[in-house]
Copies of this chain bind each other. A is one copy, B any other.
Amino acid sequence: MKEENTHSGVKEIARRANVSIATVDRVIHNRPGVSEKTKKKINDIITELDYQPNVLASRLASRKIISLAVLIPRVSEETDFWEAPFRGIMRAEAEIRKYGIQVQTFFFDLNDKHSFTEQAELILKKEVQGILLAPSFIDESRQLIQACQKLKIPVVFIDSNVPEQDNLCYIGPHLFQSGYVGAKLLTYRLKENHKVLVVNISKETDNYSYLQIEEGFRSYFKDHSQPCEIIRVDIKDTDKLSVAKELTRVLYDHEDIEAIFVTNSRVFSVASFLENAGRKDISLIGYDFLKENIRFLKEGLIDFLICHKPEEQGFRGLMALYQTLVLGSPVEKVHFMPIDIITKENQAFYQN
C-alpha cells in the first residue's frame, strides 16, 4: 500500500534523454538552442512521464515577479457594492503573493468616464502582464481591451460583460436569467391585479446591464402568460430626495401597484422611501448584499435580494489570471455566477 511518490522531475527527464537539465529546461520553456532531434526526444519523454512541473520550485527559482493590475470602481459614499469584489481581490492577492505575484489596484469614479480612461492609461504605462477589469463604461473599456490585445495582455472581466470583445474570460452574472428569477420571486407576493413597477436608478444613460435584466424580467411574465401590467421608471438622479420625488409621482399615477422590482443595488433608497411613505404593503425586490439593503431586508421592507457573489467574482477574476500566467492552464471563457436568493431568514449565513 505504500505508494512511492516517484515524482519524476526535470532531472529524471534529463537522465533518460542523455542530456543536461538545462537542455530539458530549454525545451520546456520553448527557448531556442536545442536541435529538433533532441527536442522531439525530450518532448516524447515528457509526454510519457506525464511530467507536471513543480509550481513551488518553479516560482521559487524564478526571480521575476509577475505584476497584475486591477481596474474597478471606487467605493462611493452612495453605495458600497464594490467593497465586496475588492475584498475578494485582496483575498486572492494574499494567496498568490507567495508565488511572486504583485497586484496593483486602480480605482475609477462611476460618475466620471474620464477617470476610467485616465486610470487605464496609467495601467498601460506600468507594463503589467494581466488586467482584471470591471468594464462599466463600454466604449472606454473597448479602447483599453484593444490596446491590451496588441500587447498580448490577457484581460478578465467581472460584474458585467462587453459583448463581442476578445478577452480571457468573463466572470459574472447571467443578467437575463437574473431578471427572470426576480420576476419569479415577485409573483410569490403578487395578489390580484398584477401591476408591478420596474425601477432603474442610475446616472448612466446607456445602461446595457439594466436592459438585459429587464428583458429577463419581462420574459418571465411572457413565458407564463400572466396578465401583468409592468410600469417602468428611470431615475437619473440617485440621491434619496430625487428618488422619493419620482416614486411619489409614479405611485400617484398608478395607485394600485403591488410590487416593485429595482434593477440594481439601489433598492435601499426605494425601501427608505416606502418606509417613510408608510407603504409597507408594497413588495420589494432588488439587488446585492449591502449593509443598508440587509437592514431593510431584516425589517421586512425588502422581500428578496438577488446577489451574484461579488466577492467571489473578484477572487476568481484574479485567480483566472494566475491560472493563465503562472500555471499556463486554460480558463473557461464564460463563468456565470449563481443567482442567489436572499431573504430575511437566510441572510445571516450568506457568503458574498
Q: Is the CB of B56 within 8 A of A177?
A: no
Contacts of A188 in B (CB 8 A): 188
Contacts of A180 in B (CB 8 A): 345
Contacts of A350 in B (CB 8 A): 338
**With the chains together, A54 CA to B65 CA distance in Å?**
15
**Chain B: minimal CB distance from A342 (Å):** 8
Q: Does A351 belong to the interface (CB within 8 Å)?
A: yes
Interface size on A, residues (CB 8 A): 32
Contacts of A5 in B (CB 8 A): 65, 102
Contacts of A220 in B (CB 8 A): 345
Contacts of A349 in B (CB 8 A): 174, 177, 336-339
Contact with B along A41-72 (1 / 0, CB 8 A): 00000000000001111011000010000000
Choose among A55, A59, A184, A345 the residue with the greatest number of B CB atoms under 10 Å from its CB.
Answer: A345
**With the chains together, A336 CA to B349 CA distance in Å?**
7
**With the chains together, A341 CA to B180 CA distance in Å?**
15
Q: Does A99 belong to the interface (CB within 8 Å)?
A: yes
Q: Does A348 belong to the interface (CB within 8 Å)?
A: yes
Q: Is the CB of A341 within 8 A of B341?
A: yes
Contact check: which of B60, B65, B336 meets A60 at CB < 8 Å? Answer: B60
Contacts of A65 in B (CB 8 A): 5
Contact with B along A169-182 (1 / 0, CB 8 A): 00000100100110
Q: Does A117 belong to the interface (CB within 8 Å)?
A: no
Contacts of A181 in B (CB 8 A): 343, 345-346
Contacts of A174 in B (CB 8 A): 349
Q: Does A215 belong to the interface (CB within 8 Å)?
A: no
Q: Does A98 belong to the interface (CB within 8 Å)?
A: yes
**With the chains together, A177 CA to B65 CA distance in Å?**
46
Q: Does A340 belong to the interface (CB within 8 Å)?
A: yes
Q: Is the CB of A184 within 8 A of B345?
A: yes
Contacts of A60 in B (CB 8 A): 54, 56-57, 60
- Give residues in A with beta carbon < 8 Å to B: 5, 54-57, 59-60, 65, 98-99, 102, 174, 177, 180-181, 184, 188, 220, 336-341, 343-346, 348-351
The 6 A-B pairs at the shortest CB distance, nearest first, are namely A339-B346, A341-B341, A188-B188, A56-B56, A181-B345, A338-B349
Other A-B pairs beyond A184-B343, A338-B346, A341-B343, 5, CB < 8 Å: A177-B346, A181-B346, A336-B349, A340-B340, A341-B341
